[in-house]
Amino acid sequence: MERVVIVTGANSGIGLALCERLLTEDVQLRLCLACRNMQRAEAARAALLTSHADAHVDLLHLDVGSMKSVLDAAQEVKTRYRKVDFLYLNAGIMPNPQVNIGAFFKGLLSRNAIRMFSTAEGLLTQQDRLNADGLQEVFATNLFGHFLLIRELEPLLCQSSHTSRVVWTSSSNASHSAFSMEDIQHRNGTEPYSSSKYASDMLSVALNRQKNSQGLFSSVICPGLVMTNLTYGIVPSFFWTLIMPIMYLIRVFTNTFTISPYNGAEALFWLFLQKPESLDPRAKYHSLTSALGRNYVQPQQMDVDNETPEVLFAKLLELENFVKKNDHVGYI
């Protein structure tokens, strides 16, 4: 039976590179590109079909930042497919990023320089805003929309007859200190991206605890630093081009500069090939590229305790109920 794979944010960057790699591995897949912009989705589909003419590539309209769109898309998935084998939760945003140049140069001269380059800890802030549902946009897009999607697709993901997988594209920028259980949407801080990625790490742990027995397995990856629309939003592309030789030099000290979307998708692709029972539910799987350009995957324990993931899960369920009850715009 053909495997059904859904990828959110599949029209560019790491998501699109993953799709290319999945089709190279198994052209029999039923691959569904879940995107908010159908013109970009069509272009991605056309590009994939150029190299894999016989592939089954479906398109699904999904804006993970809009709760109505998530509910509609989930309904559509349920009418199209009888099961979902892989759900890649890859769509993500980092709006209005600001680099703290002072902290960058200070970090450069410190013993933590390498860590700074792989996590950007203390370097980046963003300006978030409310979406049409009244939720913080970064939280809604990077985390909550994906949570709601999983919840709506549970009948297809949690089947005793077979195992299903969800895979989160998180980040090494996920940080415990940026997240507060009293402010899960990060309304009051300046690091909504770090906060949302840390929340996805915790949610994955909670999902494994609650759903493994029902055949659903969740994993988390970090693609490393990859040149995509997201990073071109942090500093312009000409700047990246200018410092590219330095980037390759930094790769000698940290293998987290994967740079190309193909390399960045390594851990996502690697997980596709693994048996879920062999994976560590508390590990983040990192895409890494050596100075000589060799790609590999390494697990790292996540900075997540035993109790907090369950608390977050309960809060997300509460918010889900609230959103569904108040399906008017701007009520939350």
Ligand X SMILES: NC(=O)C1=CN([C@@H]2O[C@H](COP(=O)(O)OP(=O)(O)OC[C@H]3O[C@@H](n4cnc5c(N)ncnc54)[C@H](OP(=O)(O)O)[C@@H]3O)[C@@H](O)[C@H]2O)C=CC1
Would you tell me which residues interact with ligand X (CB under 6 A)?
8-9, 11-15, 35-37, 40, 62-65, 90-93, 141, 169, 171, 222-223, 225-226, 228-231
Q: Residue 35 is inside which H or E element, if any?
A: strand 30-35
Binding piece for ligand LBM42IJL, criterion CB under 6 A, among 148-156, 167-175, 287-295, 302-310: 167-175
| Catalytic residue annotation | 193
Q: What is the smallest separation between the CB atom of 229 and ligand X, expressed in angstroms? A: 4
Q: Which residues pair with 61 in a beta bridge?
A: 35
Judge contact between 126 and 94, C-beta under 8 A.
Answer: yes
Give the torsion sign (CA, 318, 63, 332, 169). Answer: positive
Q: State which residue, 41 or 222, has the beta carbon closest to ligand LBM42IJL.
A: 222
**Three-point CA angle 222, 223, 225, nearest 5°:** 110
253's enclosing H/E stretch is: none
Residue 212 or 260 with smaller CB distance to ligand LBM42IJL: 260
- Can you tell me the distance from the alpha carbon of 54 to that of 27, in angstroms, rounded to the nearest whole number? 7
**Cβ partners under 8 Å of residue 217, min gap 6:** 163, 164, 165, 166, 208, 211, 276, 279, 281
Q: Which is nearer to ligand X, 9 or 309 (CB)?
A: 9
Residue from 309, 63, 124 nearest 203 by CA: 309
Of the pair 5, 120, the CB lying nearest ligand LBM42IJL is at 120
Calpha distance 124→234 (Å, rounded): 9
Span of 20-28, 114-122, 148-156, 304-312 interacting with ligand LBM42IJL by CB under 6 A: 114-122
Q: 10 Å Cβ neighbour count for 159? A: 16
Q: Is 289 in the site for ligand LBM42IJL (CB under 6 A)?
A: no
3-state SS, 36-47, equals CCHHHHHHHHHH
Q: How far is the CB of 127 from ligand X (least distance, A)?
A: 16
Phi/psi zone of residue 213: left (φ > 0), alpha (ψ -120 to 50 degrees), beta? Answer: alpha
- Here's the x/- map for ligand LBM42IJL, 118-157, by CB under 6 A: it reads as -xx--xx---------------------------------
**Residue 225 interacting with ligand LBM42IJL (CB under 6 A):** yes
- Residue identified by tokens 């159908």 is 38
The 3-state DSSP class for residue 285 equals strand
Q: By C-beta, is 164 or 228 nearer to ligand LBM42IJL?
A: 228
Please choose, out of 28-36, 143-151, 169-177, 280-288, the segment that lies near ligand LBM42IJL by the rule CB under 6 A: 169-177
Binder of residue 300, out of ligand LBM42IJL, ligand X, none (CB less than 5 to 8 A by kind): none
* Nearest approach, Cβ of residue 223 and ligand X (Å): 5
Task: Return the closest-CA partner of residue 189 out of 227, 143, 229, 139.
Answer: 139
117 contact, one of ligand LBM42IJL, ligand X, none, CB 5-8 Å limit per kind? ligand LBM42IJL
- In 3-state terms, what secondary structure has residue 178? helix
**Nearest approach, Cβ of residue 290 and ligand LBM42IJL (Å):** 18
Report the residue number, 260 or 308, with the smaller CB distance to ligand X: 260
**Residue of 234, 279, 283, 291 that binds ligand LBM42IJL (CB under 6 A):** 234
Binding site for ligand LBM42IJL (CB under 6 A): 99, 101, 104, 117, 119-120, 123-124, 171-173, 222, 225, 231, 234-235
